[in-house]
Structure 1
Amino acid sequence: MTFYILFISILLCIGMSLRVLFLPQDVRGKPVSLQNFLMLAMLYATIMIGFGLLFMMLDMKGFNIVREASDGSPFNFFSRLQSFIYFSGMTLFSVGYGDITPVGIGRVIAITEALIGHTIAAAFVARAVFDRE
């Protein structure tokens, strides 16, 4: 039961973060400002950490999410969490070095995260342009 509550809470946090881009608000000051940069950085950080936690929770539940090209060193909780947040960041920013590969349901989640990563940048630029007029 706790798993599902945490899972839904993380999804809710990700959704609430994304709604910042899609609700009508004024972009304060110039489109290129420190406040807008910090808002965008916090949005990306929330999405990256949120998806990293989702990957970690599904892995702990027994789902096969990713395949790592590891050096054979043992994995503890914090190294797994670090790997999942790293994978989430690489997916969100569409870099994808290939050292961690999604498998199974992880592919669907990774595609969703990559789509969100592209949408955030496009929505921010569109909002800055349209709110300026």
Structure 2
Amino acid sequence: MGDILLFLVMIVAVVGIIMSVLLLLKSRPIFHGKQLSIRNFFILLLVYVTVAVGFGCIYISLELLNVKVLTEGNYEVGGSFFHLLEDAMYFSSVTILSVGYGDITPLGIGRWIAMLEAFFGYLLPTAFVVSTVFHFKEKVKAN
């Protein structure tokens, strides 16, 4: 039963990541004159948080399924659930924002997941800028 619940958490995390990226791509920026609204940056922040938490849930679920994906120094990440939660969310946030510090490193399938997360970290600002420019050009053509 616990394994099924963890697989469900991973599926929800993946769906949340996909939906948040689609939110970023489909949201129409609100322009006030030539300035963007704070709403646009709030959406970008919300997408970053959702993606970081989603990948963190994937790391936690895999660790709870005894698939070792993270190490801290020479030791496997683990101990209490709260320590695992802290390490997984820290690793996820650092990976998406800066491609890591090296204090916690991925193993096995965790490397592939971390590469995908780092790719999202670089893709999100690009998607934000491209969608904003696209919608700005549409607005200019309409006027």
Fold match by TM threshold 0.5: yes
Identical counterparts, % of pairs: 35
- Write the deviation string for residues 42-90 of structure 1: whole angstroms up to 9, x where unpaired: 110000011111100000000010110279xx83111110110010011
Distance in 2 between residues matched to 1:100 and 1:3, nearest whole Å: 22
Q: Which has the higher relative contact order, 1 or 2, with Cα contacts under 8 A spaced 6 or more apart?
A: 1
1:33 aligns with 2:37: yes
Looking at structure 2, the residues matched to 114 and 95 of structure 1 have their Cα atoms a distance apart, in angstroms, of: 6
Match of 1:123 among 98, 121, 127: 127
TM-score normalised per structure 1 = 0.89
Number of corresponding residues: 130
Say yes or no: does 1:52 pair with 2:24. Answer: no
Say which one has the larger Rg. 2
Q: TM-score, normalised by structure 2?
A: 0.83
Secondary structure of residue in 1 paired with 2:105: strand
Name structure 1 gaps, 5 residues minimum. Answer: none
Match of 1:86 among 86, 90, 98: 90
* 8 Å CA contact retained: 2:29, 2:37: no
Distance 2:55 2:123 in 1: 16
Unaligned runs of 5+ in 2: 138-143
Of 68, 91, 113, 1:64 maps to 68
Runs of 4+ residues over 6 Å off in structure 1: none
RMSD of aligned C-alpha atoms? 1.8
Between 1:55-64 and 1:91-100, the stretch displaced more is 91-100
